[in-house]
Structure 1
Amino acid sequence: MLKHRIITAVWLIPLVMGAIFFFPVEYFSWALVAVFLIAAKEWGRIIDKRCTVTQWSFTFTIAVLLIALNVLVPTDEIWFKGSLHPIFLAIMIIGAMWWAISLLLVLSFPKSANFWGKSHMLKSMFGQLTLIPCFTALIALKALSSDAMPYYGGALVFLVMLTVWATDTGAYFAGKALGKHKLMPNVSPAKTIEGLVGGLLTTMVVVTGIMMVSPEQELGLIISVTLFVALISALGDLSESMFKRVAEIKDSGTILPGHGGVLDRIDSLTAALPVFTLIYIAFWM
């Protein structure tokens, strides 16, 4: 298993980094459609793991919505005079509201599953609210690149990813070494409070890197934003774990050997990216 994880990471990380930094945003937005359709098919298994018609129906719905977004909002119109396009902004705000609701569902699980566990309609809606704001956030951040700063948008996307990776890595090792108190045993029995604290502390490495590259930034703000994004990313992970637990599936898919599915790799990002984008608009635009 570890060998497969390493091999997958060796080819996947350069591919992701190349797309983030070197793909023009107009190509990046269409490449993302393919990635998110794989994630949508995997979410279809969460809706009903036995019915392929349901899975493909959900995938088709996501395809229509993502293609419509790319057509209705050209990449050169995503930002205008420092403001995010109204459609993108509305989706981002709805996404943030969804993660507030998701937090309540996670905290009240398994009782909350009595409300949504057997409803294909609600689980489909939850999937749309999880995937589409993340899609728009990725494109919005990437579109912040300009001729003067061609890698700026990619750097912002990478910064969020780095925060998520630091949180996950710190949580894994701290949990293994010190984990005694379960974080949310009904949702994800393996996660511990000590692991979460370790993950949050690890993100300070990201803060250090930001301050070295951009020392004019306000330290307190950078620390606060990094910790908040890290916590939100943990919510994304817990939320997917909750939905998979009800669906009785371990991994969302098998397309990434040793890692599971695409959804398993982006679960934390689905929460972190739209929230970070809103924070960026509030404090840096």
Structure 2
Amino acid sequence: MKVRIISALVLLPIFFFVIIYGGLVTKLAVLLVALISIKEFTNAFAESGIKPTNAILYIITILFLVPSWLNIWSVLPVLLFILVVGESILLIFGKKTVEDISVSILTFVYITVALSSVIVVREASFDFIWYIFIFAWATDTCAYFAGFAFGKHKLMPKVSPKKTIEGAIGGIIGCIIISTVYAYFVHPEYILLIGVSALIGSVISQAGDLFASSFKRKLGVKDYGNLIPGHGGMLDRIDSIIFTAPFTYIVMFIAKLI
């Protein structure tokens, strides 16, 4: 626990700088996180004999996240097409298996496309980008303490043995409270929308955690890496954010802010 806290204290100032500064700094930070996460995710498959095409993934991720596209998602169909065609050629010539190319495509959508939402939301609204992290981290923190204090019934023992139903409920309640308090002070006109969104966002955050844990269980790995002391790899730290980032974009779309 001490190591986790120290790591968090070191990383938090960097995190706030990246989000507050915005622009190219945010883009480059998201790119770095995406590239590290891609490496960790694909490495987890290596021992099972599945070898995604990292080179292609790195290239299209850079092309997608860094340039100042008028609309970042306007280039997404083109890049997806390039990815699928490139992987198909490798499959045709026997350089890759169906499993290899399937994981490559999944990795791009799961990590790169999802994380691009952070850039889109930041460019659209400084106030709303914090919900990406509130939904994820408020849920995680409140679920931990609620589970520690009241946890008795396992949530999904085959996927994540330590998670409890009581913890999950505590995470949802905590997320709703923290999100609505933030909304009350920053944009009270959206407080009802945020209250409902926090409930859904908390569930989605926990789904993101369980989704990543399901792969770890299937592939027989404890963590995706050891980059962050006490937390594991980058992907272990952002697995919930990968789900809450696109969801926050949807919330902003409903609020007609995008």
Q: TM-score, normalised by structure 2?
A: 0.83
Would the alpha carbon gap of residues 278 and 206 (structure 1) be closer, same or farther in structure 2, given more than 3 Å must change? closer
The one of 51, 68, 86 aligned to 1:74: 68
Query: Are 1:215 and 2:188 an aligned pair?
Result: yes
Matched residue count: 238
1:188 aligns with 2:186: no
> What are the superposed Cα offsets for residues 138-179 of structure 1, whole Å, 9 maximum, x if unpaired?
1101212xxxxxxx43x3222220221110011111111111
**Does the 8 Å contact 2:114/2:246 carry over to 1?**
yes
Secondary structure, counterpart of 2:232 in structure 1: coil
Instruction: Give the secondary structure class of the aligned counterpart of 1:216.
Output: helix
Of stretches 165-174 and 122-131 in structure 1, the one that deviates more from structure 2 is 122-131
What value does the CA root-mean-square deviation take over the aligned residues? 2.4
Partner SS state of residue 259, structure 1: coil
**1:9 match:** 8
Contact 1:33 / 1:63 at 8 angstroms: preserved in 2?
no
Query: SS of the counterpart of 1:250?
Result: coil
Q: Which runs of 5+ in 2 are unaligned?
A: 80-97
Secondary structure at the residue paired with 1:255?
Answer: coil
Provide Cα deviations, 1:202-251, integer angstroms capped at 9, x if missing partner.
0112212211222222x332211111111111111000000011111111
TM-score (norm 1): 0.76
Share of identical aligned residues, percent?
32
Is the CA contact 1:163–1:206 (under 8 Å) kept in the aligned structure 2? yes
Cα deviation for residue 85 of structure 1 reads 4.8
Q: Conserved in 2, the CA contact under 8 Å of 1:183 and 1:191?
A: yes
Structure 2 residue aligned with 1:37, among 35, 54, 78?
Answer: 35
Partner of 2:47: 49
Q: CA deviation at 1:90?
A: 10
For the residue of structure 2 that corresponds to 1:254, the secondary structure is coil
Q: Give the letter aligned to residue 68 of structure 2.
A: P
- Give distance in 1, aligned partners of 2:77 and 2:153: 39
On the 8 A contact 2:57/2:104 being kept in 1, the answer is no
Once the two structures are overlaid, the 10-residue window that deviates more, 199-208 or 257-266, is: 199-208
In 1: Cα distance, 2:117 partner to 2:34 partner: 13
Tell me which amino acid in the other structure corresponds to 1:208.
V
Please state whether the residue corresponding to 2:209 is helix, strand or coil: helix
CA distance in 2, matches of 1:163, 1:223: 11
Q: 1:181 to 1:239 in 2, by over 3 A?
A: same
Q: Which amino acid aligns with 1:15?
A: I
Equivalent position amino acid for 1:211 in 2: Y
- Asked if the contact 1:170/1:199 (under 8 Å) is kept, the reply is yes
| 2:239 is the counterpart of 1:278 | no
What is the aligned counterpart of 2:112 among 125, 128, 132?
A: 132
User: Alpha carbons of 1:90 and 1:206: their partners in 2 closer, same or farther (altered >3 Å)?
Assistant: farther
